Amino acid sequence: MNNKSLVSIDDISTEEMVSILDLAKEFEKDPGQNLLGNKVIATLFFEPSTRTRLSFESAISRLGGKIVGFTDASSSSVTKGESLNDTIRTVNNYSDLIVMRHPIEGSARLASEISDVPIVNAGDGANQHPTQTMLDLYSIRKTQGSLDNLNIFLVGDLKYGRTVHSLLMAMSRWNTTFNFISPEELKMPVEYKLYLDKLGLKYYEHSDFSNIINEADIIYMTRVQKERFSDPMEYEKVKNVYVLRNSMLANTKDNMRVLHPLPRVNEIHTDVDANKKSYYFEQALNGVFTRQAILTRLLGLK
């Protein structure tokens, strides 16, 4: 990993990726090892992200580490006008590793160049959120047994969705077939399609998934947000097309699993929750093991 930090999923070699997934599997078997007993981890959340923060803090706490930090920028010196440079230079004196969430894109890369201790990017605006991608990969490998030859359906907001872009980039390292299901206004950006063309990977675009859903190994759902539409009428027309219901899963493959980065609003109907093919809550749990693997690897403990 670049500079002992984890900033972007593109920084990790495929070999390292697999090695981290293997390590996460060890933590799944035994998540309570006291590996961080004498370590202090800073969690700097310049914008609130309760789910991600709790997942990191759970990962750290289960390994016996201590946590310092703040949960949103209003309770930090940032509100007094302190630069990121000064915040990082100060906090890296107090901690062995910094987990950072920041609304500005590229902030994590800059922090990794300033800091003496490893930085883990827990989301920098619309740019990168590599630990989310790693837990998605872990969930896919665990449920499918392998990352090879899968048919992945990405559904919803494929234009602005950071998680689907990173997942696409990561899964394109294996022989993956992609199906993109989105409204016209939120289609997968052309740069990602060109990238898949270059690699010779297959992808198909659809405006709904009613007649192809049975081919899926993974259905990765994301939220279609009203704010993304320039014309509110367009939103009204498509808002129910991208809602997954239990009845739609009747003839899907046995190995198929439904993933979602959470929080969910209404894009997966609650009647899916009882179906054994729903996997989004287990996916969130996998985030703890994956983050344990990433933290201990960056600290050179594993």
Partner 1 sequence: MKETKKQLSVSAIENGTVIDHIPASNLFNVIQILGLDKIDNQITFGTNLESKKLGRKAIIKLAGIYFEDDDINRIALVAPEANLNIIKDYEVVEKSIVKVPDYIAGIAKCVNPKCITNFEDVKTKFKVVSKKNVALKCHYCEKITDQEHLVIV
How far is it, in rounded angstroms, from Cα 134 to Cα 147?
Answer: 12
- 239: nearest Cα among 204, 208, 263, 279: 208
Q: Is 206 a catalytic residue?
A: no
Query: What is d(CA 23, CA 35) in angstroms, rounded to the nearest whole number?
Result: 13
Q: Does 169 bind partner 1 (CB under 8 A)?
A: no
Distance separating alpha carbons of residues 270 and 259, to the nearest angstrom? 14
Cα radius of gyration rounded to whole Å, the chain: 19
Catalytic residue from among 43, 52, 71, 176? 52
CB of 194 to partner 1, least distance (A): 12
110 binds partner 1 (CB under 8 A): yes
Our CB check for partner 1 shows the closer of 104 and 301 to be: 104
Binding track, positions 127-166, relative to partner 1; x by CB under 8 A: xx--------------------------------------
Among 75, 103, 226, 301, binds partner 1 (CB under 8 A): 103
Assess 194 for contact with partner 1 (CB under 8 A): no
115 secondary structure, DSSP code: -
- Is position 129 annotated as part of the catalytic site? yes
Q: Is 83 in the site for partner 1 (CB under 8 A)?
A: yes
User: 67-71, long-range: CB within 8 Å, 24+ apart, which pairs?
Assistant: 67/40, 67/41, 67/42, 67/43, 68/40, 68/41, 68/42, 68/43, 68/94, 68/95, 69/42, 69/43, 69/44, 69/45, 69/99, 70/43, 70/44, 70/45, 71/43, 71/45
Asked if residues 8 and 35 have their Cβ atoms less than 8 Å apart, the reply is no
Which of the stretches 126-134, 144-152, 229-237, 292-300 binds partner 1 when contact is defined by CB under 8 A?
126-134
Q: Applying CB under 8 A, what is the total number of residues that bind partner 1?
A: 17
Dmax of the chain from CA atoms?
A: 57
DSSP 122: E
Applying CB under 8 A, does 30 fall inside the site for partner 1?
no
Whether 50 is a known active-site residue: answer no
Q: Establish whether 143 is a catalytic residue.
A: no
Indicate which residue of 39, 53, 62, 101 is catalytic. 101
Binding span for partner 1 by CB under 8 A among 38-46, 103-111, 195-203, 206-214? 103-111
Look up tokens 């998605």; give the residue. Answer: 136
Does 165 participate in catalysis according to the annotation?
no
Out of 2, 3, 75, 85, point to the residue binding partner 1 (CB under 8 A). Answer: 85
Shortest distance, position 45 Cβ to partner 1, whole Å: 17
Member of 191, 227, 231, 254 binding partner 1 (CB under 8 A): 191
CB of 125 to partner 1, least distance (A): 5
Q: Establish if 126 lies at the interface with partner 1 (CB under 8 A).
A: yes
Q: What is the DSSP letter of 189?
A: P
- In the block, which residue shows the tokens 């949960």? 71
Residue numbers annotated as active site: 51-52, 80, 101, 129
Q: Which residues bind partner 1 (CB under 8 A)?
A: 8, 83-85, 103-107, 109-110, 124-128, 191
